[in-house]
Chain A
Amino acid sequence: MNEEDRKKPEGSGLSRRDFMKIGGMTLAVPMVASPKVLRVGGEDVEVYGPEKTMVTLNVNGKLMRAELEPRVTLLDALRESFDLTGSKRVCDRATCGACTVWLDEKPVYACGMLAIDAQGHKITTIEGISTPENMDAVQKAFWENDAQQCGFCTPGFVMATKAFVEKNPHATLEDARKGLSGNLCRCGTYVGIHSALRQLTGMKEA
């Protein structure tokens, strides 16, 4: 591999963030800075960046603004610009679920989405669910069943589990196993998570 290729991971000629820059091309972003307008496939497309642009996000019921390059992920914006560090960065490639937040009511991987694309949606992070003094039923079930160790995967698991049990209040354990397979824990707290799920849904084995 030559030096040029090395600088472009995956040898595609594009870095992942370059790719996301293109992904940031969009037809319907609320106007905050003046985009370039390009004609693509017979349509006018607004293109942001690479310079910073004002991004407004609705996070946990509050409007938050920051000047961000369009290539900044939703996860990095939450963590770096708004100091909402409950969502963790682990794989940074939409595999592990540690960065799970809700976009409107749906759980999504915040590392797999650009901040600029999250505008106009209602974003809920772990900080928006509850406080340590006033935990939600899912969090209490995790606590009572000791479904955590280091806790690094835990906020993501809580966000995914809460969305899952709200949508599937009568799920079987097998359903839940599959439904939550998009979150990973290295410390191995799955047995505690099973117990928490059982407590939450009154589910039976499989």
Chain B
Amino acid sequence: MADYKWPDQQHRSYLGKKIDRLDGPVKLTGRAKYTYDYNPKGLLYGALVTCPYARAKVLSVDTSAAEKMPGVKALKVVKTPGTETHWAGDEIVALAAVDERIAEDAARAVVVKYEVLPHFVQDEIEPPKDIPLASGPLSQEDLEDMFSNQVPEGKIADAIKTRGINWKPDEGFFKDLKGYGVDQVVIDALRGAQVKPGTAGPKSPYKRTAVQTEGDPDKAFAEAAYVVEGVYGMPVITHCCLETHGLVAEWPDQKSMNVHVSTQNVSGMAAQMAPMLNLSASDIHVEQQNIGGGFGSKFGPDSWGMHAAELSKMAGGAPVKMMLDRKVEQEMAGARPSAYGRVKVGADKDGNLIAWESNSWGTGGVTGGGSPPLPYLFRIPNQKKQHTAVSCNIGSARAWRAPNHPQASLLTECALDDLAAKMGMDPMDFFLKNIEMTGPRAKTYAEEFKIAAEMIGWKEKWHPRGDKTPGPLKRGLGLGLHTWGGRGHESHCDLTVHPDGGVEVRIGSQDLGTGTRTVIAIVIADAMGIPIEHVKVFLGDNKYPMSGASGGSTTSGGVSSSTHRAAVDARDALLAKVASSLKAQPEELEVVKGTVRVKSDHSRAMTWKQACAKVGPVGITVRGNNPDRTKPPDLTNSGIGGVQMAEVSVDIETGVVRVEKLMAVQDAGLIVSKKTCETQMLGGMIMAVSYSLYEEKVMDPTTGRMLNPNIEFYRLAGLPDIKDLRIHLHNTQEQENRGVIGIAEGAVTAPGTAISNAIANAIGVRVPFMPFTPGRVLAALEEHGQNAMAGGAM
């Protein structure tokens, strides 16, 4: 049987090396086409009329003037009179016109009357103590919310059993759940659930879950030698993809549709659109060559995408482009849930963590948002925790790179850092002392701490809280650690070896700019022993074999495994065909650097092209799959741990924070494409600098509207903000043996925590909430008084 193992060191010409990304030139020269760039003949431009109020009831919609405007080709009222809206930016009317200006004029000509209803948008305020526990039946939104926040499936099933559900799911619903990979325990729980229709939850914006207890936290706190209590948190932020959400839909005839869509989920798009359009998924052709950012927010067609599909049909099939404008994008195309928490931790006199208590809260929109897994990483023996979901009238939550992890990391590791400060201990020593509590990756973290410390000069530079050097500029060091899964998803591909030596692979995946194309080409070239130039990668089309959505760092493991198996099979099929001409058995042959030869006698050889010429006029086509238990070993794995350390400077007169250094050490399994892997990690770290210092969806409590739905006041980090960032890939042999693991999510988690801890180290006080703006830094300094600046106040 063929050997499907990853090639060993001698057979790696590309694997783990720094290879320039395949799609560099088309992107660098502006030739790469994105959904936004698709300009077919007869294109109609979509526009939306959106609700200006955070909560309202639609009383009337008058579209007569808009419909009469020349150039308006289709119009659809999305929210009919009587409907309630739940956030500013919600769509009321969708329309399409011959150019964008006319579409905008027409949208302005629509007159909507509303009854304005009370709203709530303040998630940062600590919820009152005396809220009753959420007990009513779960709605579909509650369920979706739990999924998107990765609540463990056992917990979801328990909630369904104890609380019941408020609708009756049909077989189609169960099938969909299965399709999304939802665990059977949840489906069984739903089947057996008590249906209590119409009893929607209480009107309060707060939904509090029951207290979860492990061990004896009260006793542990009573016995603890050191206890600290603090409040920490991070606000809702947006995805702010540079290419906004949207798609172009067209109907070549009444029975089929073509869609160009900005998505992380090419293979899974048609099935989501088909039922609502009375089509079969096989009638929908989905394409996307390039995407301008997704970060977890682009898995579905979205309501506005469905409007485009309907408007196109209404307009006789003409293509309709519905890309959100920046304002609406910021208002409703994705919110990373906020998380705040009052956290108490305790340690014994030797610095062993013994007790945890947290009351956390946060919002992910109207349905509340799930709870971050607390305490993060450290299985503290005695715990008590409770979470309150806050329902706010903002656009719904979407997965944002490493859902829940940055929040959980901040709430946990800042508290631990404060505890170390109280004990007068170097936080690195304190974390290391308790590292066994992190479980199977403890040894890796310990190794990574040492490397990171060396990279940043921790031993030389670290000082106790509060930089005592004179002058307003204070320096500090901080650390954070994270984990993620990263196992490869389901992936299939077809690989063809052409008689002229060309190799092409067709796979229904997508390259988000993470380097998917490059990863695939590297894998195939090394598995077949040929120059990478021979390999052509075709992706971004749902007519190619299904490959999973790109989320949760699952793509590298998935596509590399399926394409590797295909390449091995195709190579072996080729060797079987040419063996007799080299007077050898197929097993005696190998392909090295484009030469097919007998392993024991290199003089019996032919070029790759000569070999391919012998396969017959149609070449060889094989299917590769992941997972594939018939073709072991398992080529991908799950579970990474990483450590990051930050050095910041804080000007205590202006409150300005600068991230001077950020060092990351990351275990990553077998690295396929080193260059894009490093870029991807650095990208995560830069996004984290951005959300730590600048990003916040600022909501106005009075009007309920987002105050910064743009890019000038929703600030992103720029070139001047990024200084010395470095990474070290901790890919020891032991790590490589684990196979391919995705790393994207990990990199974005720890830096925020490290930055927060570094600020506390620099100025001697904790700035509780992100983003760490000058105002917040100065307020924290003021609150703790002048002594704080002299250090050691906490």
Please list the residues of chain A having a beta carbon within 8 angstroms of any beta carbon in chain B.
Answer: 1, 3, 6-7, 15, 17, 69, 71-72, 76, 79-80, 83-93, 95-96, 98, 125-127, 129-133, 135, 139, 142-144, 146, 148-155, 158, 176-178, 180-181, 183-194
Contact = CB atoms under 8 A, between A and B. Distances in A.
Nearest to B240: A186
Contacts of A155: 27-30
Contact of A80 (B99, B512, B675): B99
Interface string B31-56: 11110110100000000000010000
Contact of A150 (B101, B291, B325, B721): B291
Contacts of B39: 79-80, 83, 85
B28 A142 contact: yes
A87 B30 contact: yes
Contacts of A153: 242
Nearest to A178: B720
Given A177-B720, A191-B686, 20 more contacts: A1-B703, A6-B52, A15-B108, A92-B325, A125-B30, A126-B30, A127-B29, A127-B31, A135-B25, A142-B28, A143-B21, A146-B24, A150-B242, A150-B243, A151-B290, A152-B292, A155-B27, A181-B718, A181-B720, A186-B687
B718 A88 contact: no
B111 A131 contact: no
Among A71, A96, A187, the most chain B Cβ lie within 10 Å of the Cβ of A187
Contacts of B675: 146
A102 B291 CA distance: 25
Name which of B21, B680, B718, B719 has the most chain A CB atoms within 10 A of its CB.
Answer: B719
B200 interface: no
Given A98-B242, A180-B719, A132 B29 contact: yes
Contacts of A3: 111-113
A86 B32 CA distance: 8
A137 B25 CA distance: 12
Interface string B175-197: 00000000000000000000000
A-B pairs, 5 with minimum CB distance: A86-B30, A188-B686, A152-B292, A150-B513, A151-B27
Contacts of B113: 3
A186 B293 CA distance: 8
B326 A90 contact: yes
B711 interface: yes
B72 interface: no
A143 B18 CA distance: 12
A88 B291 CA distance: 12
A176 B156 CA distance: 51
Contacts of A71: 101
A96 B514 CA distance: 22
A58 to B, nearest CB: 18
Contacts of A15: 108
B679 A149 contact: yes
A43 B32 CA distance: 47
Interface string B672-702: 0001101110111111001000000000000
Nearest to B43: A80
A186 B716 contact: yes
A129 B29 contact: yes
A42 to B, nearest CB: 33
Nearest to A192: B679
A85 B33 contact: yes
Contacts of B719: 176-177, 180-181, 183, 190, 193-194
Contacts of B29: 86, 126-127, 129-132, 135, 139, 155
Contact of B25 (A98, A143, A177, A181): A143
Contacts of B100: 76, 80
A149 B25 contact: no
Interface string B284-313: 000000111101000000000000000000
Given A3-B111, A183-B719, A189-B683, A132 B25 contact: yes
A152 B24 contact: no
Contacts of B348: none
B679 A189 contact: yes
Contact of B20 (A95, A143, A154, A180): A143
Contact of B711 (A1, A88, A91, A194): A91
Interface residues of B, number: 64
Contacts, number: 187
A105 B113 CA distance: 50
B779 interface: no
Contact of B243 (A152, A181, A192): A152
B607 interface: no
B628 interface: no
B28 A143 contact: yes
A188 B243 contact: no
A75 to B, nearest CB: 11
B131 interface: no
B454 to A, nearest CB: 20
Nearest to A151: B27
Contacts of B703: 1
10 contacts: A3-B112, A72-B101, A90-B326, A90-B711, A126-B29, A127-B29, A143-B28, A146-B678, A151-B32, A192-B679
Contacts of A6: 52
B126 interface: no
Most buried by B among A148, A186, A189: A186
B36 A88 contact: yes
A67 to B, nearest CB: 11
Given A69-B101, A80-B100, A189-B683, A148 B711 contact: no
Given A177-B720, A186-B716, A188-B683, A148 B27 contact: yes
A62 to B, nearest CB: 16
A179 to B, nearest CB: 9
A160 to B, nearest CB: 10
Given A76-B100, A150-B293, A92 B326 contact: yes
Contacts of A180: 719
A88 B101 contact: no
Contacts of B292: 88, 150-152
A123 to B, nearest CB: 14
Contact of B31 (A86, A91, A183): A86
A148 B710 CA distance: 23
A190 B719 CA distance: 6
B293 A188 contact: no
B325 A186 contact: no
B104 to A, nearest CB: 7
B69 interface: no
A171 to B, nearest CB: 12
A153 B679 CA distance: 15
Interface core residue of B295, B676, B720 (most chain A CB under 10 Å):
B720
Interface string B693-731: 000000000010000001110001111111001000000
Most buried by B among A79, A150, A153, A190: A150
B618 interface: no
A185 to B, nearest CB: 8
A188 B682 contact: yes
B2 interface: no
A146 B678 CA distance: 9
Contacts of B37: 79, 85
A188 B664 CA distance: 15
